[in-house]
């Protein structure tokens, strides 16, 4: 046993990898609703691994209708220690072409109407998102992804399910964003609230719609590049799992709630505290 349990949130085909021992689908129930799908769990050497298809098998859930609270809670209930997100993104810069990977290290959240926290009235928490990803896990991902990968980049999280207008695409470029997607927020925020170190690999499928000399992104273009990216993504995941150190040393993110919970124990809502048993049980005891 290594102490690592890597939760991988990604496309429906990401779990279809050779080399996962004792693989099985597990249904996980929790107080935040149903996760996107059952979770495929197994081991790669000494490392436990759990794959969650973000949109459900067959890509049946639209980005704005995902339940990321249920997804993160389910992974935490399974004992996941770290989360690797693998997401398709559009590129907002010329030097990150379709087929390249970006190891995201910052976000601009332009989503709306999505519940972005496990906490609220009866148990308030304020966590820093200044550095929203885990540098250790991100470095492992960059090494595993190899050639054609850029370490560092700002992800613009948009609501969807529609793609950007040209005006929006140009605006996001002016803001200094590098890639654009529909799923990383509030997923990254919720992982931090659950004390789960989080890294995101953005697989570029298109150039959004900012290039004057190219057609705007459409589903056919995205699907074609998705197919090309899938094998590389599976290889990256397996290389990362095999490259992890024999033992997992503690991360500061493992205990970040110690400085975040603000509601006095005597004022906490027992019903909300009960719902937080998996994501915050350690800190609420």
Q: Where are the domains of the chain?
A: 5-284
Of the chain, the percentage scoring pLDDT greater than 70 comes to 94
**pLDDT over 70 at 173, yes or no:** yes
Please state the rounded mean pLDDT for residues 198-219: 86
Is 80 exceeded by the pLDDT of residue 106? yes
Query: Which CATH code fits 5-284?
Result: 3.40.50.1580
Q: Average pLDDT for residues 218-234, to the nearest whole number?
A: 76
Res. 216 pLDDT band, cuts 50 70 90? low
Instruction: Report helix, strand or coil for 78.
Output: coil
pLDDT, position 218: 67
* Alpha-carbon Rg for the chain in angstroms: 18
Per-residue confidence (pLDDT) for residue 229, from 0 to 100: 81
Write down the pLDDT at residue 228. 75
Q: Taking residues 6-15, what's their average pLDDT?
A: 82
Q: Does the pLDDT at position 192 exceed 80?
A: yes
pLDDT at 24: 94
Interval 59-100: pLDDT, tens: 899 999 999 999 999 999 999 999 999 999 999 999 999 999
Stretch 125-148: mean pLDDT:
97
Residue 265 pLDDT > 80, yes or no? yes
Per-residue CA distances from 195 to 67, 163, 189 (Å):
18, 32, 10
- The Cα 135–Cα 118 span in angstroms is 24
pTM of the model as a whole: 0.95
Catalytic residues, by residue number, are: 206, 208
User: Which phi-psi region, left, alpha or beta, contains residue 186 (left: φ > 0; alpha: ψ -120 to 50)?
Assistant: alpha
Residue 129's pLDDT band, with cuts at 50, 70 and 90, is very high
Two structure tokens written together for 9: 């949130």
The predicted structure's pLDDT at residue 212: 82
């Amino acid at each position: 046993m290594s102490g690592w349990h890597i939760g991988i949130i990604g496309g429906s085909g990401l779990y279809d990898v050779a080399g996962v021992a004792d693989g099985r689908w597990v249904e996980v129930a929790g107080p935040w609703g149903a996760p996107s799908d059952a979770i495929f769990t197994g081991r790669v050497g000494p490392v436990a691994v759990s794959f969650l298809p973000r949109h459900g098998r067959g890509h049946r859930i639209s980005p704005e209708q995902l339940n990321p609270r249920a997804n993160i809670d389910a992974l935490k209930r399974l004992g996941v220690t770290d989360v690797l997100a693998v997401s398709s993104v559009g590129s907002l810069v010329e030097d990150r072409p379709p087929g390249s990977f970006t190891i995201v290290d910052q976000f601009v959240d332009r989503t709306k109407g999505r519940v972005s926290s496990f906490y609220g009235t009866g148990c308030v928490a304020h966590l820093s998102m200044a550095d929203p990803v885990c540098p250790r896990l991100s470095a492992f991902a960059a090494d595993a992804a190899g050639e054609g990968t850029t370490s560092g980049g700002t992800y613009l999280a948009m609501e969807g399910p529609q793609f950007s207008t040209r005006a929006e695409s140009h605006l996001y470029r002016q803001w200094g964003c590098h890639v654009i997607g529909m799923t990383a927020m509030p997923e990254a925020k919720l992982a931090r609230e659950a004390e789960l170190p989080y890294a995101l690999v953005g697989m570029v499928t298109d150039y959004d719609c900012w290039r004057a000399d190219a057609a705007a992104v459409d589903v056919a273009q995205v699907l074609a590049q998705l197919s090309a990216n899938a094998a590389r993504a599976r290889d990256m995941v397996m290389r990362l799992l095999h490259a992890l150190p024999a033992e997992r040393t503690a991360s500061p993110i493992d205990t970040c709630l110690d400085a975040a919970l603000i509601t006095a124990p005597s004022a906490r809502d027992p019903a909300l505290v009960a719902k937080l048993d998996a994501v915050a049980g350690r800190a609420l005891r």
